[in-house]
Amino acid sequence: MAKEKMVQQITSMDEDFAKWYTDIFKKAELVEYTSVKGCMVIRPYGYAIWENIQHILDGMFKATGHENVCMPMFIPESLLQKEKDHIEGFAPEVAWVTYGGTEKLEERLCVRPTSETLFCEHYANIVHSYRDLPKLYNQWVSVVRWEKTTRPFLRSREFLWQEGHTIHATAEEAMEETERMLNVYADFCEKYLAMPVVKGRKTDSDKFAGAEITYCIEALMHDGKALQAGTSHYFGDGFAKAFEIMYTDKENKKVYPHQTSWGVTTRLIGAIIMTHGDNNGLVLPPAVAPVQAVIVPIQQFKEGVLEKANEIADTLRAAGIRVKVDDSDNSPGWKFSEYEMKGVPVRIEIGPKDIENGQCVTVMRHNRQKDFVSLDGIADTVKQKLDEVRDGLYKAALENRENRTYKCTDMDGITKALEAGDGFVKAMWCGDEACEDKVKEITGVGSRCIPFEQENLSDVCVCCGKPAKKMLYWGKAY
Amino acid sequence: MAKEKMVQQITSMDEDFAKWYTDIFKKAELVEYTSVKGCMVIRPYGYAIWENIQHILDGMFKATGHENVCMPMFIPESLLQKEKDHIEGFAPEVAWVTYGGTEKLEERLCVRPTSETLFCEHYANIVHSYRDLPKLYNQWVSVVRWEKTTRPFLRSREFLWQEGHTIHATAEEAMEETERMLNVYADFCEKYLAMPVVKGRKTDSDKFAGAEITYCIEALMHDGKALQAGTSHYFGDGFAKAFEIMYTDKENKKVYPHQTSWGVTTRLIGAIIMTHGDNNGLVLPPAVAPVQAVIVPIQQFKEGVLEKANEIADTLRAAGIRVKVDDSDNSPGWKFSEYEMKGVPVRIEIGPKDIENGQCVTVMRHNRQKDFVSLDGIADTVKQKLDEVRDGLYKAALENRENRTYKCTDMDGITKALEAGDGFVKAMWCGDEACEDKVKEITGVGSRCIPFEQENLSDVCVCCGKPAKKMLYWGKAY
């Protein structure tokens, strides 16, 4: 009963994808709105997902030699203006502090939309010799961008992220770093979030304000829209020149260093929802699930049931599994639908009969497969189920992407392909920005990236018919 | 040579304590100034200390049932104004955002100086029934207070902290929570930071804006000044009434819940510097030291020395010790003074002769005690040394506090006692704010707290001679 009631409360994703998304983040208690538009409360269950993401990524950053720091949240206007492309890109969307207490500030301060300028000011202070290089820094903070249209996790005025900022002696080293961190992001998304991504490079019209090259990973959501899941930028020596950062090299010459920056945000939680969620709620990849296995006792009032449930929990916990026993007085049916809504990867049911038979029931969230398994070796069994969930999620997401990726060689082909539903379009491009604009205007899909894995679909641009330089991924984007 | 050179660069703490403090945070590379007054860059070595503090405290919070969340950084002016004592306390020192991009905001937003109002708004949304209580929330963020005089870690315009915010069905539960968290802070400071603290209650003139009761822990620095190291506030139902937070109790009546908040900040790093540091630099308590043991190879060019140094490092690392081998081409003398400056608790020296004898040299940072120890069981030996450092630091800090704590029964006594140097003054108090003010005016020391451990020094107030209610700790404060 309870179960049906809960399920009815969620909008089906086929009916209204946007409303389905909202239902999930509300009912799974990830986020709550506040009275400031575009600013959200990340609730314990949502924040625990972010903590798991942080924990894994931070380990990957440190394993690749990075150190954490913390920069101020305020940037003086004059500092933000030092690099001209950068200020042009960000000025329209920053929040300005103009008063401290009752006193008007002499120079207004923006709340960081990103921290390149702060890192540059710092590097100018501490980088003097080749011995000071590289600096491989990262910070976990929130940033503010005054967006017009906002949506929890996907586009908010304040969001949490990490921003890596590195400075190197040579262009080669900086390029290697840019690529290395894109690979870290891609590996993280695929391995831990079970989310396949396309690695590529942004076209010039779409790169980060101040960057020479922007790499990105692009994922495809359930509804066929693309989501940029992470970016890694190569700055060359542009910021160094603007901020007069120079170092003395081994030949005792003063030269400019080369920089990078790279970031992922709480957007990844939105990506998890829209990649794996279904009409029963959230579905979490085990690596970042706050609760990996929930134990629901059946006929818990009967002697020995709760004891056994807690015993199993202890065994799983000792094996490093995040586990919860729900011994509340809600019905098992209510609990089933509650933890489906919350996307707990594995449910374990244990009742008097199971105990008699030395077994329990496991149900995997993503495909609802139900198994009777022995209590002997239960920790290994559950670990195996968690791996199965991860692999099943990845496979399903990859299938969705493949089913929704269309190879097109002319404009009509794009329009026709998209009649089946939104998705990635692969098509050739001459390299001209005018063609990017025209494809978007006519078909509705913009360029997402120039993928590293190139294919030769034809020799000519899908738009103008001139010789093609690259194959692009196109799509509608979040 | 190098060593002497470095040591000469630090101002002696007896000569100029403030300059000594500045020298330490600069030369140990904890912090760097930025172009925004009162906002600092926390550098990798400083931030790693904070990460260790976070890791331990976060574990203690979770072990006591707390969950992490994340609130927005902006508070609309109308929301800040809902609780009148709170706004009076904070309005003069908040930073105001008045523009988003090029658009003037309809209502200005302050950058959170603390988040009671945001938590209250959220609780009003999610707390309806006794079943929703308690909520035991915490967040790790930065806050902004527009201070006039600033000093890295001790008083800055932006600082990092954690703020716990809890809401309970009854006053009793909320009071228990307030005390529990003060005890968590005190245990943390004493056990992990090796810093003795006095637990007590603030007088009414000194409590948090909006609180009914403020508890605090107070520590005494090298120079005899007091430092408030943490606070825990009991709000009663004042905020609940102001924000109309009500829940239905078991008897189906609508009643107000009771709240608390509690916080510690990056100030703790300032406290570590001023409690343990010496004229050779920083001295770090092992539990939060980024590097617990540094290995300095002697005659490292000789065969087998670096191999052995790395072998020892592997052994220590496997035992969970944070260890670093410095195999740079700097001289051992330079390295000795570098890691003394950085406060690494234990230094290990290993050279060809030591290897021959199956031993190495350990030097403890706090007392420079040098020991020849066997390489057999080196991990246990180093762990024992780390414990010795912690115990030695605690003992020395406690001694300093005891030597600088004066029991006084009249005003002249206070003035005379303080001629020997600043410190804690214990003296009786009638409970009248006028006497607090007068003591401060005449002797220079303000009330720090009403300690939980009371003593009866006399029956009358040190100031007015009327019957005394409590013994107070008085002191000059950071």
What's the whole-number average pLDDT of chain B?
96
Banded pLDDT at B2 (limits 50, 70, 90): very low
Chain A (253-312) residues lying within 8 Å, Cβ to Cβ, of chain B: none
Flag whether B7 is in a domain.
Answer: no
Handedness of CA A237, A243, A248, A254 (dihedral sign): positive
Contact A382, A442 (CB under 8 A): no
Strands A293-297 and A346-350: what pairing?
A: parallel
Q: Is the pLDDT of residue B3 over 60?
A: no
User: What CATH number is attached to the domain comprising A167?
Assistant: 3.30.930.10
Residue A326 domain flag: yes
Asked if A111 lies within 8 A of B73 by C-beta distance, the reply is yes
Shared-domain flag, residues B252 and B334: no
Q: Show the domain range for B203.
A: 12-276
What sections of A250-347 are H helices per DSSP?
267-276, 305-318, 332-341
Q: Which of B276, B304, B336 is the last residue of a domain?
A: B276
Q: What is the pLDDT of residue B4?
A: 45
Do the beta carbons of residue A231 and residue A216 sit within 8 Å? yes
Computed over every residue of chain A, the mean pLDDT equals 96
Residue A257 and residue A331 share a domain: no
Which among B48, B101, B144 has CB closest to A94? B101
Confidence band, pLDDT 50/70/90 cuts, at residue B8:
low
Q: What would the pLDDT profile of A344-402 be if each residue is shown by its tens digit? A: 999 999 999 999 999 999 999 999 999 999 999 999 999 999 999 999 999 999 999 99
**Interchain contact B460–A (C-beta under 8 A):** no
Contact indicator for B212, B236 with CB cutoff of 8 Å: yes
Query: A23 and A112 in one domain?
Result: yes
- Nearest CA-CA partner of A41 in A29, A33, A52, A51: A33
* Residues A284, A323: Cα–Cα separation, whole Å: 14
Looking at the fold, whether A145 and A54 belong to one and the same domain comes out as yes
pLDDT band at A467 (very low <50, low <70, confident <90, very high): very high
Query: Do A127 and A202 reside in the same domain of the chain?
Result: yes
Q: How far apart are CA A56 and CA A67, in angstroms?
A: 15
The pLDDT score that the predictor gives to residue B91 is 87
Interface test with B, best of A51, A69, A109 (most B CBs within 10 A): A69
CA distance B327 to chain A (A): 15
Rounded Cα distance between A214 and A222, Å, is: 26
Residue-wise pLDDT for B244-283, tens only, equals: 999 999 999 999 999 999 999 999 999 999 999 999 999 9
Distance CA B267, CA B193 (A): 13
- For residue A82, give the amino acid letter: K
Cα separation, A62 vs A69, in Å, equals 12
- Take residue A146 and report the two structure tokens written for it: 């005054």
Q: How far apart are the first and last CA of chain B?
A: 36
Q: Could you say which of B387, B419, B449 is where a domain stops? A: B387
**Interface membership of A244 toward B (CB under 8 Å):** no
Q: Is residue B202 part of a domain?
A: yes
Cα A427 from Cα A417, distance rounded (Å)? 12
- Checking if the pLDDT of B377 tops 90, the result is yes
Minimal Cβ distance to B70: which of A47, A73, A121: A47
Q: Closest Cα partner for B141 from B121, B158, B126?
A: B158
Nearest beta carbon to residue A41 from set B40, B41, B71 = B71
How far apart (Å, rounded) are the C-alpha atoms in residues A220 and A6? 28
Question: Does residue A270 fall inside a structural domain?
Answer: yes
A374, A409: one domain: no
pLDDT at B1: 38
Task: Mark which of A227, A253, A276 sits at the end of a domain.
Answer: A276
Within this chain, do residues A327 and A467 fall inside the same structural domain, yes or no?
Answer: no
Q: Does A102 touch chain B (CB under 8 A)?
A: yes
Q: Is residue B351 part of a domain?
A: yes
Interchain pair A101, B118: CB under 8 A: no
Q: For chain A, how many structural domains are there in total?
A: 3
The predicted model gives B191-210 an average pLDDT of: 97
- Say if residues A424 and A404 touch (Cβ distance below 8 Å): yes
Task: Give pLDDT tens digits for B53-112.
Answer: 999 999 999 999 999 999 999 999 999 999 888 888 898 899 999 999 999 999 999 999
- Residue A293, pLDDT score: 98
A248 - beta bridge partners?
A: A129, A254
Residues B318 and B413 occupy one common structural domain: no
Is B331 within the bounds of a domain?
A: yes
Q: What distance in Å separates the CA atoms of residue B284 and residue B273, rounded to the nearest whole number?
A: 8
For residue A248, give Cα distances in angstroms to A117, A126, A254, B112, B434: 22, 13, 4, 42, 62
B130 at A interface, C-beta within 8 A = no
In a domain, A393, yes or no: no
At which residue do the structure tokens 């209250």 appear? B120
Cα(A309)–Cα(A296) distance, rounded to whole angstroms?
Answer: 8
φ, ψ at B362 (rounded to 5°): -115, 140
DSSP label at B278? B
State residue A8's pLDDT score: 56
Summarize the confidence of residues A100-118 as an average pLDDT. Answer: 96
Helix locations, B156-266, DSSP H:
171-191, 238-242
Note whether B123 and B212 are same-domain residues: yes
Token readout for B23 is 């020298």
- First-to-last CA distance in chain A? 36
Residues of A whose CB is below 8 A from B76: 35-36
Is B14's pLDDT higher than 70? yes
> How much is the pTM?
0.97
CATH no. for residue A308?
Answer: 3.40.50.800
Query: Do B25 and B106 fall into the same domain?
Result: yes
Give the pLDDT score at A2.
42
Q: Which of B299, B228, B291, B268 is nearest to B475 (CA)?
A: B228
Within-domain flag for A281? no
Q: Does A28 touch chain B (CB under 8 A)?
A: no
Same domain for A61 and A148?
yes
- Per-residue pLDDT at A226: 98
A88 and A227 assigned to the same domain: yes
